[in-house]
Structure 1
């Protein structure tokens, strides 16, 4: 991988890692009083927004009140739910493909430097190219079904997983590898017993970032073309000036992003907590 891509990966990985550490400290060290303070702050912010919008008589089509968003989301959830299912299918399928290929390529380029010189330019192109720009072309080739969206999600998430995984595979103590070789360990044994476990924290960071990029791409692909998905709901509600429903979909996407973060945090806490 190029030096620029590696540095970017380390910066992003470091920031996310600090976020994971802060979340860990929250779960273990926060008192009940602090938790109540956090909840009270959320109530004050949401309630203050509700009162401010009501006081200044802001039209619903400009910015709906939180209560209107909740009412619209509950009332239209049966219409949004099928589109949520379509988006999750695209996200899970594309992410599984992209993450799997990304981890395999990361393992290959760290074991065979010559392969990195061949693969790195194409990965750099994928990282710097917005995948949404390719969606219309993919639609022309594969139609308006799942295929173009899944491919776009895989292309968006895969490089992120690969860059962070490759960084993790390289962050291995050379003394451990030398000791393993002195005991006759093969390259494959060193990879599975030393490189992979030591790289697990960075792999999880890459999976988290890749999943978030995949979610954004899945939504954007739904906005570009096709009659299904949460992205389609966003364009439909905005064109019909149904802003409570629009922000209801935005709220769902925010919850999905939080769930992605929390899921990988819990996985990291269980399988990679030794790094702390």
Structure 2
């Protein structure tokens, strides 16, 4: 019988759990997931949002806080609507950097995770460099990358790939290892090869942890892309942040921050729903 360390990570469809599952919702306090099941829950969420936004709006107006310090939510939403035609092209640039860098980093991370799982010697060689990438802030390398590749997409895409790849690799390697050893032993007894075991047993059972790694890597990639745009370059949402802050246009500044928050929520929601659909199996 497999011990507790070999318990297969899983996505639970219900809010309950046995304390041994690994899911996207375990990364936050919302163990019940992101879905709502009744109109009452929808109304409760909207009521809380109205109270928070309305309270902030009333407090800022009551204490007459200047807009250049903290604009009220109404001014932020107004700026989001009026400035969005100007912000939209920069949003497109940021998405290009995120998708391209994340695709490269995630692909390399998955390959390295598979390699270190199958070949322990490779892990000893690769692990120190992965640790170095994880502990090194990629934004510190952006100026060097700009000197080499210029102010275009290349340095930003490279920074995003370097930030997201290790996250994908670490979580994927953990998933590849957290499988039921009894199933692997049974497959070997039937003559399955190492490659067959990997594709038929390790990869499907590792899918929940792979999705967790992809989600974390995408979020790290978004943060790195915005940071790289703030360091250098004339386009992207990060560039808009530095421009609006230097011109003390705080409603526009917080409108860009709101867009970035929405992008982060979309990343989380996308991978959560993928996990619910494709990795909702149970042990």
Partner residue, 2:173: 166
Partner residue, 1:9: none
Cα distance in structure 2, aligned partners of 1:149 and 1:43: 38
Gaps of 5+ in 2: 1-20
| Cα shift readout 1:15-61 (whole Å, capped 9, x = no counterpart) | 84425894655526x43222211110100110111111111110000
Per the TM alignment, residue 169 of structure 1 is displaced from its structure 2 partner at its CA by 0.2
Structure possessing the higher relative contact order (Cα contacts under 8 Å, 6 or more residues apart): 2
The total of aligned residue pairs comes to: 263
Partner residue, 1:179: 186
Cα distance in structure 2, aligned partners of 1:248 and 1:71: 9
| Cα shift readout 1:170-193 (whole Å, capped 9, x = no counterpart) | 001111001000001111110000
Partner residue, 1:274: 281
Cα distance in structure 2, aligned partners of 1:132 and 1:101: 20
Match of 1:66 among 73, 86, 92: 73
Partner residue, 1:207: 214
Match of 1:122 among 125, 129, 138: 129
Cα distance in structure 1, aligned partners of 2:165 and 2:62: 47
Cα distance in structure 1, aligned partners of 2:88 and 2:235: 11
| Cα shift readout 1:163-218 (whole Å, capped 9, x = no counterpart) | 00000000011110010000011111100000000000000000000000000000
* C-alpha RMSD of matched pairs (Å): 1.6
Partner residue, 1:18: 26
Partner residue, 2:115: 108
Per the TM alignment, residue 275 of structure 1 is displaced from its structure 2 partner at its CA by 3.5
Cα distance in structure 2, aligned partners of 1:20 and 1:52: 29
| Cα shift readout 1:122-174 (whole Å, capped 9, x = no counterpart) | 00000000000000000000000000000000000000000000000000111
Match of 1:217 among 224, 247, 252: 224
Match of 1:265 among 268, 272, 278: 272
Per the TM alignment, residue 231 of structure 1 is displaced from its structure 2 partner at its CA by 0.3
- Indicate conservation of the 8 Å contact 1:20/1:265, yes or no: no
Task: Give the TM-score normalised by structure 2.
Answer: 0.90
Gaps of 5+ in 1: 1-12
DSSP 3-state at the match of 1:27? coil
List aligned pairs for 1:67-82, cutoff 5 A: 67-82=74-89
Cα distance in structure 1, aligned partners of 2:52 and 2:125: 52
